[in-house]
Amino acid sequence: MKLNKIKIIVPIIVLLLLVALILIALFVYNNKDTNEVVNENVSIEDTNINENNTLIAEVKEPEEDTTWEWRHDTLENHNINSSVIESVHQTLDQYPINAEVIVRNGVIVDEYYKEGYDENSVFTLQSTSKSVTSAIFGIAMDKDYIDSVNTPISTYFPQILNYGSEYKNQITVWNLLTHTTGLDVSDTANWNEWLASSNWVNYVLERPAVSRPGTTFNYFTGNTHLLSAIIEKTTGKTTYEFGKENLFDKLDMDSVECSTDPQGISDGGNGFAMNIYDMAKLGQLYLNEGVWEGEQVISKQWIEDSTTVQFDRQSGSADYGYQWWVRTFGNNNYHAYFAQGHYGQYIFVVPELELVVAITSHYEGSTSIYWQIMNNIVNACN
């Protein structure tokens, strides 16, 4: 009797064990699939044990790429005559102009590149650097590192008071911004000597004063270099470092570079370099009255002051703001302002047309060709 019971029980036990093993296998398999799905969508950043001695995994969603990128569209969609722009390209073909980008309504509508260049090519800006430094200087003022454009530069360079010059004592930040220091110095007469000097700041401060500050326009890169030195003295960072933190990074201007003087001060007057997309971003920021992606990067007031006439030169093809040139373009004489560098580096802004044009070149001829190009582009806009 007992033997029969055993014969019956053993198969039942074996069957139950098989069922249990199948259930365990299914459970492990299902958990494995779930873990694999989870691992495809989240990353385990950290782990810890809770009070019940249970392992907790803290998960983090994958970060999205938030880098700002230009949008592109056709000329026609932004009311620009494409046949006129084609003739502009034919003009560009005839000169050593390396690249051109046209932005309207915040969208790139035209690009031109000579062979060997593209949107990633980094160009030295030459004196277009002055407008970059002006932007950074404005941010430093917005953040109260610098009190006023009327502050005497002796506040930052007290050694200038040792020269016993009434005119030198009167030089203000405004005079540096507008190249009206009254010092006997200019790029035409002093460029090579200044660049070869062992101390660029002292070279400027030691020049004799020959006219009352604010009365004579004398374009000199050393004036902008003093602005760069003031940024460093007041912020504790080089102009490039302060600009990267407060301007370049905010606009995703990743291509920007800057050289320095013998003392390591950023060459704010001539030393910046960047690609043409980043040049256009600076122009667009100014067109946006200092706002980028909802943030006021530069105050509207500084943009306005920089791009309106601060000194009427009564000669030449343009007047001057705060390190930006000011003039009109097109048959309708639209107000415009622009950054200009040697060999043909330009950032043009025409606010009424929502237009930004960036150009890089290596052309040593007359600047009139750029006025022709801009007049044609402006006239093509409807």
* Res. 76: pLDDT tops 50: yes
- How far is CA 347 from each of CA 55, 123, 183, 339, 360, rounded to the nearest angstrom? 58, 13, 29, 5, 9
The residue-averaged pLDDT of 41-52 equals: 44
* Res. 2: pLDDT tops 50: no
The residue-averaged pLDDT of 278-292 equals: 98
The residue-averaged pLDDT of 236-256 equals: 98
Our measurement of the distance from residue 260's CA atom to the centroid of its chain's CA atoms, rounded to an integer in Å, reads: 18
Number of H helices, E strands in the chain: 12, 14
* Res. 26: pLDDT tops 90: no
* Both structure tokens of 86: 């084609």
* Res. 44: pLDDT tops 80: no
Tell me which of 23-27, 62-66, 131-135, 298-302 is least confident.
Answer: 23-27
* Res. 19: pLDDT tops 80: no
Please compute, for residue 204, the number of CA atoms within 13 A of its CA located in the half-sphere on the CB side: 26
Q: What is the pLDDT of residue 37?
A: 38
Determine the 3-state secondary structure of 55 from DSSP: strand
Class of domain 76-380: alpha beta
The residue-averaged pLDDT of 65-86 equals: 95
Our measurement of the distance from residue 336's CA atom to the centroid of its chain's CA atoms, rounded to an integer in Å, reads: 20
Dihedrals phi, psi of 268, to nearest 5 degrees: -70, -20
The residue-averaged pLDDT of 351-359 equals: 98
Going from N- to C-terminal start, the domains of the chain cover 76-380
Strand order of the sheet with strand 122-124?
A: 122-124, 272-275, 257-258
Judge whether 185 and 204 are in contact, CB under 8 Å.
Answer: yes
Q: What is the pLDDT of residue 41?
A: 42
* Res. 38: pLDDT tops 50: no
Q: 66 falls in which pLDDT band (50, 70, 90)?
A: confident
Q: What is the pLDDT of residue 315?
A: 85
- 271-275, long-range: CB < 8 A, 24+ apart: 271/129, 272/124, 272/125, 272/128, 272/129, 272/132, 272/133, 273/122, 273/123, 273/124, 273/125, 274/122, 274/123, 274/125, 275/119, 275/120, 275/121, 275/122, 275/123
pTM for this prediction: 0.84
Nearest to residue 166, comparing CAs of 223, 202, 209, 207? 209
Average pLDDT of the chain? 90
- How far is CA 293 from each of CA 78, 178, 288, rounded to the nearest angstrom? 21, 30, 10
Say which residues have a Cβ less than 8 Å from residue 9's Cβ, sequence separation at least 6: none
